[in-house]
Amino acid sequence: MNGYVPKPINPETLIAAMVDIFGAVDVAPVPAAPVEAEPPPDEEGRSLSDRLSATNAALDVSVIGTLEEQLGTEMVGELVGDFIETSKALFEQLSAARASGDVSAWGDAAHSLKSSAGTLGLSRVYQTALAIELACRAGTPDKAEQPTEVLGELLDEGWLLLRQRHPVQAAAGK
């Protein structure tokens, strides 16, 4: 394995990649999982994308809860802090691309936000960034305007929920 892990992140694949790169540590061995484009379906056969698209919850606690079970709360807390920082930068990139009329960069930033938000279970951010990405990819930026208008508020909501769940680790992502 070369360390590449596709998004949305499958925690088992991430752990296997980390073990391949850094070697085993004094914990129970983790079997290497096949590299998948997305985590396996839930009990109802729905993919992560389908679950995130189907809910109205700002934070899908089953998604972040699964991450916490598989990676540990400390590691997920670090991921939350990183997400808050990187999502701020991505939102700035998205806004700048929109203002300059760079539809491709606008869609790229939305894609990155969608993927990382989905990994943590931020359903509303995922859905909104997906709408922006699809509109930009289709060459219809007018359809990306309204979702872009609300994305900042949805990120604020998501950051708040993530900070409540992981207050110490997320403090770096003020």
Q: Which long-range contacts link 62-70 to residues 24+ away (Cβ below 8 Å)?
A: 62/121, 63/118, 63/119, 63/120, 63/121, 64/120, 64/121, 64/165, 66/11, 66/39, 67/11, 67/119, 67/120, 67/121, 70/11, 70/12, 70/15
Residues 86, 169 within the same domain: yes
Structure confidence at residue 45 (pLDDT): 73
Structure confidence at residue 52 (pLDDT): 86
The domain in which residue 7 lies consists of 1-40
Residues 91, 115 within the same domain: yes
Structure confidence at residue 27 (pLDDT): 54
Q: Name the one residue in this structure whose structure tokens are 């930068």.
A: 89
Residues 90, 27 within the same domain: no
pTM of this structure: 0.74
Number of domains in the chain: 2
| Burial readout 129-149 (b: 16 or more C-beta within 10 A, e: otherwise) | bbbbbbbbeeeebeebeebbe
Residues 135, 158 within the same domain: yes
Residues 59, 29 within the same domain: no
Structure confidence at residue 2 (pLDDT): 66
Structure confidence at residue 33 (pLDDT): 45
Residues 28, 96 within the same domain: no
Residue 158 belongs to a domain with what CATH number? 1.20.120
Cα→Cα distances 155→23, 24, 29, 121, Å? 35, 36, 36, 12
Rounded distance between C-alpha atoms, residue 25 and residue 50, angstroms: 35
Structure confidence at residue 47 (pLDDT): 79
Residues 52, 97 within the same domain: yes
Residues 91, 164 within the same domain: yes
Residues 36, 61 within the same domain: no
Residues 4, 77 within the same domain: no
Residues 77, 95 within the same domain: yes
**What stretches in the chain show pLDDT beneath 50?**
1, 30, 32-37, 170-171, 173
